[in-house]
Structure 1
Amino acid sequence: MNLHEYQAKELLKRYNVPTQDGIAVSNVDDAVNAYKQIAVDKGTKFAVVKAQIHAGGRGKGRMKEAPDQSGVQVVKSAEDVERVARNILGNTLVTIQTGEAGKKVNKILIAQDMYYDGPSERKEFYLSILLDRATKRNVIMYSTEGGMDIETVAHDTPEKIFREWVQPGFPLQGFQARNIAFNLGLSGAAHKNMVKFVSDLYNAYVGLDCAMLEINPLFKSADDKVLAVDCKMSLDDNALMRHTDLADMRDKSEEDPTEVEAGEYNLNYVKLDGNVGCMVNGAGLAMATMDMIKLAGGEPANFLDVGGTANAQTVEAGFRIIMKDPNVKAILINIFGGIVRCDRVAAGVIEAYKKLGNIHIPIIVRLQGTNAEAAKELIENSGLEVQSAILLSEAAELVQKAVRG
């Protein structure tokens, strides 16, 4: 589950991780009031307005209805804040990560200006924490080249990328935190502050059950303070049962509506760009089915795993979701009857077909396993335009005909 920058920073504060102050707002009047609290009341005129979407590259992005405006802008007056807020709120921000479709901005963060001293006195770093699956350990990846795309740094100057691995179940060791500060070229108060920052950040990563935690830029101010100016945080969905309060932070408006709907029915759904919708029980079988669709000359329109307890309700929900994609030219249902009985799935398919009605695309149902023959008989005697198959090769031939026909 991805979080917005303002949400992530609030969570970091629970672990004493210093962050750039800011106030999240959703309308222009609140933006002006927030500016007064963040800048004017603190004796400065500068602040930063940041669009809040689940995507990076906001500062280099562009607003669709105001192409000369980016998603991150420095302001120096209440009039500036009002103008920028009007340009961003409700507009669509296009970045390298969103694609041309972009994402609608419903909130902005009015944040304090951290660049109050000369550039020679301040520094920007990069730091992230995530699971390294190759070593089965958590890895802290960091670089002196902050504020840039880390992919570009890794490609052009890989020697500037450092790593520290931490064994799961063990805390970050003191010598590792000090090593990070040394490799970033810090000394004195800045070194001490970085050691504490990294230690607290790792505690936040573990305590919040993060899947990924990225700070870019990680900022050292002219007076040697170390703090997170930006933060991207992704939580492990499987651990949300331990954090019911965090689950409430989910912003469904940032997600694909069909994927949200699928989640409400406990369906694992990912939309793709193909022309053959597929409904399968089991992730492995779903991937094999997608390969089979490609071999048959089609392209998968989705990944849809209904799980091991498929019934009439889940089948109907799956149908509804797949049918919302106008690119779908055929639907392949591939069920292996292990825990679930094939005849029950067949009954669910027939019931869903009758309820939905007006289905004018070919539907191929391949059922194998428990009561597969009975399931095929049910479908063939239903009088519906549903084609049944038992062998995978049969299903492949039917998909091929549907795609070409």
Structure 2
Amino acid sequence: MNLHEYQAKELLKKYNVPVQEGIAVDNVMAAEEAYRQIKGQTNNNFAVVKAQIHAGGRGKGTIKGKDQRGVAVGKNLEDIDNIAKNILGGTLVTVQTGPAGRKVNKILIAQDVYYPGPNPVKEFYLSILLDRSKGQNVIMYSTEGGMDIEQVAHDTPDKIFKEWVHPSGGLLGFQARKIAFNLGLSGEAFKNCVKFVTNLYNAYIGLDCAMLEINPLFKTSDEKIIAVDCKMNIDDNALMRHNEVASLRDLEEEDPTEVEAGRYNLNFVKLDGNVGCMVNGAGLAMATMDMIKLSGGEPANFLDVGGTANAQTVEAGFRIIMKDPNVKAILINIFGGIVRCDRVAAGVIEAYNKLGDINIPIIVRLQGTNAEEAKKLIDESGLKVQSAIELSEAAELVRKALAKSE
């Protein structure tokens, strides 16, 4: 589950991770009041306005139809007012949103941390995630923080450092000091960085994060180390331990079909192809998607109905798949292990009748317990559904269906 920047920062503060302070608002009047509060706290007229969407590249992204970036600095109340009016309710297009962009429902009015002082300011990069190949968490960091970290990784990979942390041992003191040293810090900034990294890792573990990225990790002119931006993704399987975090979910930032699938406990991911697939089991789903590609098609989705497929889940899967106008055929591939194939076939027939006239070719491949009985039910149902027992047979039916649709 992805979180907004302002939500992630509030969670980090509970782990004593210093952040760029800010106030999230959803209207212009509230933005003006937030600016007054921020200005009063810092004695600085400057403040930063940040669009809150689940996508990176906001600083370089633009609001559709307006000459307005997703992140902008205002030097007075009039500036803040104009920026807020331009961003709120607008559609922000970044490299990660694609041309469709994302609607901005909230903005963050944040402190200006680039104030002058006795020492130069500096931007770094730091993230924590699981390295599956090693079975350990890895802290990736660089002296080259900011908006172009992907380009840094591509052009100068030697500037990206990695520190692996064994889950049973946790982040050790020498590792935190090594990170601060490799970032070129010394004195008070070095000490603050060690504390920052240690507390950030504690937050990563304590919140069951799948990914935690700070970019930029910022050294202020008075040697403080703070998180200016934060991307946080929480492991969905751990949300049962974090009710307060689960309540932060923003459904408007997620694909509507994936949200609907979640209501029926369906594992669904929308793709860009032309063949909808409904399968039980992730491994079988991947094999089915491969077979679709080998047949000349492209999978339109990943949809795993689980091991207890019934009429309700099949109907829900049908509805979700058919909302995609690009789908030219649907392949249902069920292995009857825990659930009998004839029961799934009955569910398919019931769902088909409830949904009414369906003009998309539907191929049903059922294998396992009572597969022959299931095929007979499908064949004798009188519905426009083609059945198969072998996966290769189902793939050939998909190929023919796509050929007819061209």
Pairwise CA RMSD? 1.1
Deviation by residue 1:50-99 (Cα, 9 ceiling, x = unmatched): 00001111000010131x21000000111111111111011110001111
Q: How does 1:90-239 map to 2 (within 5 A)?
A: 90-117=89-116, 121-239=120-238
7-16 vs 381-390, greater mean Cα deviation: 381-390
User: How far apart in 2 are the matches of 1:382 and 1:172?
Assistant: 61
Deviation by residue 1:232-291 (Cα, 9 ceiling, x = unmatched): 111111111111111111111111000000011010111111111111111111111111
Q: What amino acid is aligned across from residue 356 of structure 2 in structure 1?
A: G
User: How far apart in 1 are the matches of 2:300 and 2:236?
Assistant: 24
Q: TM-score, normalised by structure 1?
A: 0.98
Shift of 1:120: 6.2
Q: How does 1:5-404 map to 2 (within 5 A)?
A: 5-40=5-40, 42-66=42-66, 68-117=67-116, 121-404=120-403
Contact 2:119 2:223 (8 Å CA) reproduced:
no
Q: Secondary structure at the match of 2:398?
A: helix
Q: Cα distance 1:129–1:119, how it changes in 2: closer, same or farther (>3 A)?
A: farther
User: How far apart in 2 are the matches of 1:170 and 1:73?
Assistant: 42
Q: What amino acid is aligned across from residue 156 of structure 2 in structure 1?
A: T
Shift of 1:136: 1.0
**Structure 1 stretches lacking a partner, 5+ long:** none
Q: Secondary structure at the match of 1:134?
A: coil
Q: What amino acid is aligned across from residue 30 of structure 2 in structure 1?
A: D
Q: Secondary structure at the match of 1:313?
A: helix
User: How far apart in 2 are the matches of 1:26 and 1:152?
Assistant: 33
User: How far apart in 2 are the matches of 1:250 and 1:119?
Assistant: 41
Q: What amino acid is aligned across from residue 107 of structure 2 in structure 1?
A: I
User: How far apart in 1 are the matches of 2:50 and 2:194?
Assistant: 28
Q: Secondary structure at the match of 2:185?
A: coil
Contact 2:42 2:111 (8 Å CA) reproduced:
no
Shift of 1:42: 3.3
Q: What amino acid is aligned across from residue 22 of structure 2 in structure 1?
A: G
User: How far apart in 1 are the matches of 2:285 and 2:353?
Assistant: 25
Shift of 1:134: 1.5
Shift of 1:119: 10
Q: How many residues align?
A: 404
Q: What amino acid is aligned across from residue 76 of structure 2 in structure 1?
A: S
Shift of 1:142: 0.8
User: How far apart in 2 are the matches of 1:370 and 1:149?
Assistant: 54
Q: Secondary structure at the match of 1:141?
A: strand
Shift of 1:164: 1.2
User: How far apart in 2 are the matches of 1:209 and 1:41?
Assistant: 33
Q: What amino acid is aligned across from residue 154 of structure 2 in structure 1?
A: H
Shift of 1:149: 2.6
Shift of 1:170: 1.8
Shift of 1:162: 1.2
Q: Cα distance 1:43–1:120, how it changes in 2: closer, same or farther (>3 A)?
A: closer
User: How far apart in 2 are the matches of 1:293 and 1:119?
Assistant: 63
Q: What amino acid is aligned across from residue 23 of structure 2 in structure 1?
A: I
Shift of 1:393: 1.9
User: How far apart in 2 are the matches of 1:274 and 1:267?
Assistant: 19
Deviation by residue 1:294-334 (Cα, 9 ceiling, x = unmatched): 11111111111101000000000000001101111111111
Contact 2:23 2:110 (8 Å CA) reproduced:
yes
Q: Secondary structure at the match of 1:39?
A: helix
Q: What amino acid is aligned across from residue 93 of structure 2 in structure 1?
A: V
Aligned residues with identical type, % of pairs? 78
